[in-house]
């Protein structure tokens, strides 16, 4: 299972892909596909590679903004949990490991897709309809 930092990296990368207006450069798409190929067997290596790929100019700003957005969402959740002291809700919000695993599993095909941008956009549309996009 990925740690929180790794989950943020993966989600921010997928979020950034979904926000792109055009397909990725061929060399970047090829590298993302290589990451997708190793993700199941070497998730730590795959996440490290995604962090490096996020520095590409075509995706970097969107990736950084996605990380900021995710951090803001997380901080808001944490504040609301401790402000209201609703422990049932707290455990419900924090015990979402099934959702996390499910969303990680759904992220791998995005990384393996011939057009990761279009695949991420489709995933985002589907998960927003099911209100399951925020998976941290």
Q: Which domain holds residue 15?
A: 4-129
101 lies in some domain: yes
First to last CA, the chain: 13
Give the model confidence (pLDDT) of 76-91 as tens digits: 655 554 554 554 444 4
pLDDT at position 91: 44
Domain membership of residue 135 (yes or no) is no
Sequential DSSP letters for 33-87: HHHHHHHTT-HHHHHHHHHHHTTSTTTHHHHHHHHHHHHHHHHHHHHHHHHHT-H
Higher pLDDT, 97 or 47: 47
pTM: 0.80
Between CA 25 and CA 61 the distance in angstroms is: 16
In a domain, 73, yes or no: yes
Select from 106, 26, 22, 12 the least CA-distant residue to 68: 12
Domain count, the chain: 1
Q: Is residue 134 part of a domain?
A: no
């Amino acid at each position: 299972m990925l740690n929180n930092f790794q989950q943020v990296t993966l989600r921010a990368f997928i979020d950034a892909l979904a926000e792109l207006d055009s397909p990725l450069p061929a060399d970047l798409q090829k590298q993302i596909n290589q990451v997708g190929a190793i993700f199941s067997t070497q998730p730590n290596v795959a996440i490290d590679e995604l962090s490096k790929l996020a520095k590409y100019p075509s995706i970097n700003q969107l990736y950084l903004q996605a990380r900021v957005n995710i951090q803001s969402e997380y901080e808001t959740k944490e504040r609301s949990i401790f402000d209201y002291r609703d422990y049932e809700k707290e455990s419900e919000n924090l015990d979402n490991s099934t959702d996390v695993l499910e969303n990680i599993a759904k992220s791998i095909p995005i990384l393996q897709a011939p057009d990761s941008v279009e695949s991420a956009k489709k995933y985002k549309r589907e998960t927003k309809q099911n209100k399951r996009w925020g998976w941290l």
